[in-house]
């Protein structure tokens, strides 16, 4: 059986090109599986399933409202109905709820409470999606509420146009095929394109999702293959779900109607699992070369962590002294060749110690870091003392250890003196005992 830790110690330069590709593919799979378990991705899939059910009706209502406003409501409704392909009773009920939601726009009640509920469901869904992807990428903070509403509501408003464009392309290809009935090759190509087009749109959607949803920089080349793979698997699961749903309804109309809701929830859950797994694979592509150090960052010794913190402080102070552009976490990680997750942890601690100060750039998208103390007073000793004193040194306000033993331990640690732990006594003979033992060690 392959030792999963062994693959991170192999020197790729000594392998043939084929073995290098196999090794890197194995590393991608190992990163994906390990991070799925570590980040508890399956729980995020369950939460997103619930959020999707809550936001389904408001999203459909927005899509229908925008589509009807531009005069292509029937085309969008037909496209959505054909895409669902669940039991007719459930589809009619969903459309009835969406239309009822729109009917209340004519009343004054919807203007107040209705809009609040609508915005809450949309922001809740998008916030949960972004939180899941930020967890995959180890991003600590999400977009602010203004950017979230502006970006994601714009996406929902563009959905009707995307549906109309895809439907128009299908109609164009079918019309083009009817104009050339005698060309079998053209007919086969057009028919193949019509069947392939939904998969292409889904793959493009996954690629854009993996690139723009996380609140960090994701390179497009690392999202292409995960997006294609997730799109193909998603369409395959959708195909089996629709055919199974139709087959179940044909056997028993009552049972099929009852089973539509739990089967729909199961399909949603599988869809989110596919989506998040593809996002995790995208993270594996981008962090492949640094993951070996990143996975061991949690086990670094305190001395090594302190040395890395001093390194980061030194780089930030030097750049500040030169008057150049301040560091961000990403630029600092690139400059030091350290994993971004480790740099984020160390920088957060230094900010909490009041050694660094945060500053936002003109766009407000990136956080930059500056020294919080005069760099001509910032010494290695002072920084180490701040790191030693970081945190709470008293369990509660009404408790503090005041014994002879405790005072001696604090004194020995602060002075850097050495003594046997068995010599630390809670009594008056402690100093004499330690002095005698020190004399004995010097004689030896």
Enter the tokens of residue 428. Answer: 């008056």
Residue 223 class from Cβ within 10 Å (0-12 exposed, 13-18 middle, 19+ buried)? buried
* pLDDT at residue number 191: 64
* pLDDT at residue number 430: 45
Identify the structural domains of the chain with CATH numbers, from first to last: 6-286 (no CATH), 301-389 (1.10.10.10)
- Unique residue bearing structure tokens 């996975």: 295
Per-residue DSSP letter, 300? -
* pLDDT at residue number 56: 76
Mean pLDDT of all residues belonging to the chain: 76
* pLDDT at residue number 428: 43
- Rounded to 10 deg, the angle between the 73-84 and 41-69 helix axes is 150
Sign of the dihedral through C-alpha 176, 179, 184, 186: negative
Q: How would you write the pLDDT of the chain (444 residues) with one tens digit per residue?
A: 345 677 877 777 788 888 888 988 988 998 899 889 888 888 999 888 888 887 777 777 777 776 666 666 666 666 666 666 555 666 666 676 666 666 665 554 445 566 666 667 777 788 888 889 988 888 777 777 677 666 666 666 666 566 666 655 665 555 655 655 655 555 566 566 666 777 888 888 889 889 988 888 888 999 999 999 999 998 888 878 777 665 555 545 555 555 567 777 888 899 999 999 999 999 999 888 878 777 777 778 888 989 999 999 999 999 999 988 899 888 898 898 888 778 888 998 999 999 999 887 666 567 889 999 999 999 998 999 888 888 777 666 666 666 777 777 777 777 766 777 777 765 444 455 555 555 555 555
In the β-sheet with 356-360, what is the strand arrangement from edge to edge? 327-328, 367-371, 356-360
367/140 Cα distance (integer angstroms): 12
- Unique residue bearing structure tokens 């290695």: 380
Q: Residues of 142-179 as b/e, b for ≥16 C-beta within 10 angstroms?
A: bbeeeebeeebbeebeebbeebbebbeebeebeeebee
* pLDDT at residue number 51: 84
* pLDDT at residue number 86: 54
Contact 90, 264 (CB under 8 A): yes
Angle, alpha carbons 327-329-333 (nearest 5°)? 95
> From its phi and psi, is residue 15 left (phi > 0), alpha (psi between -120 and 50) or beta?
beta
Q: List the alpha helices (DSSP H) in 180-214.
A: 184-212
Sign of the dihedral through C-alpha 52, 55, 57, 63: negative
Enter the tokens of residue 288. Answer: 């492949």
Contact 148, 142 (CB under 8 A): yes
Contact 163, 79 (CB under 8 A): yes
């Amino acid at each position: 059986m392959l030792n999963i830790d062994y693959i991170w110690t192999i020197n790729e330069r000594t392998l043939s090109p084929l073995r290098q590709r196999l090794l890197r593919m194995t590393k991608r799979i190992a990163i994906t599986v390990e991070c799925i378990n570590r980040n508890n991705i399956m729980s995020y899939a369950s939460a997103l399933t619930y959020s999707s059910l809550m936001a389904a009706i408001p999203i459909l209502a927005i899509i229908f409202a925008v589509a009807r406003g531009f005069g292509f409501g029937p085309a969008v409704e037909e496209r959505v109905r054909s895409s669902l392909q669940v039991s007719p009773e459930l589809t009619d009920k969903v459309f009835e709820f969406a239309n009822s939601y729109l009917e209340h726009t004519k009343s004054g009640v919807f203007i107040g409470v209705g809009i609040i509920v609508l915005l809450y469901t949309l922001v809740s869904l998008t916030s949960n999606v972004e939180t899941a992807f930020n967890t995959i990428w180890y991003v600590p903070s999400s977009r602010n509420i203004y950017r979230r509403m502006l970006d994601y509501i714009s996406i929902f408003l563009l959905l009707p146009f995307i549906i109309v464009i895809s439907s128009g392309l299908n109609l164009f290809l079918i019309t083009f095929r009817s104009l050339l009935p005698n060309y079998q090759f053209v007919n086969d190509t057009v028919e193949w394109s019509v069947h392939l087009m939904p998969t292409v749109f889904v793959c493009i959607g996954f690629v854009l999702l993996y690139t723009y949803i996380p609140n960090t920089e994701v390179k497009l080349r690392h999202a292409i293959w995960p997006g294609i793979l997730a799109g193909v698997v998603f369409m395959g699961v959708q195909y089996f779900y629709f055919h199974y749903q139709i087959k179940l309804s044909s056997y028993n109309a009552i049972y099929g109607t009852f089973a539509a809701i739990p089967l729909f929830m199961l399909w949603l859950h599988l869809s989110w699992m596919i989506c998040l797994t593809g996002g995790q694979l995208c993270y594996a592509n981008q962090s492949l070369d640094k993951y070996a150090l990143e996975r061991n960052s949690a086990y670094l010794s305190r001395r090594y962590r302190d040395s890395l913190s001093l390194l980061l402080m030194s780089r930030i102070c030097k750049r500040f002294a030169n008057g150049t552009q301040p560091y961000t976490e990403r630029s600092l990680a690139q400059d030091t060749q350290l994993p971004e997750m480790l740099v984020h942890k160390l920088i957060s601690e230094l900010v909490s110690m009041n050694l660094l100060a945060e500053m936002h750039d003109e766009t407000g998208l990136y956080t930059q870091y500056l020294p919080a103390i005069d760099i001509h007073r910032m010494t290695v000793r002072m920084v180490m003392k701040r790191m030693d004193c970081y945190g709470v040194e008293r369990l509660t306000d009404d408790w503090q250890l005041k014994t002879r033993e405790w005072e001696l331990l604090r004194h020995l640690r602060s002075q850097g003196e050495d003594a046997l732990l068995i010599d630390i006594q809670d009594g008056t003979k402690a100093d004499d005992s330690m002095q005698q033992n020190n004399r004995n060690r010097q004689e030896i």
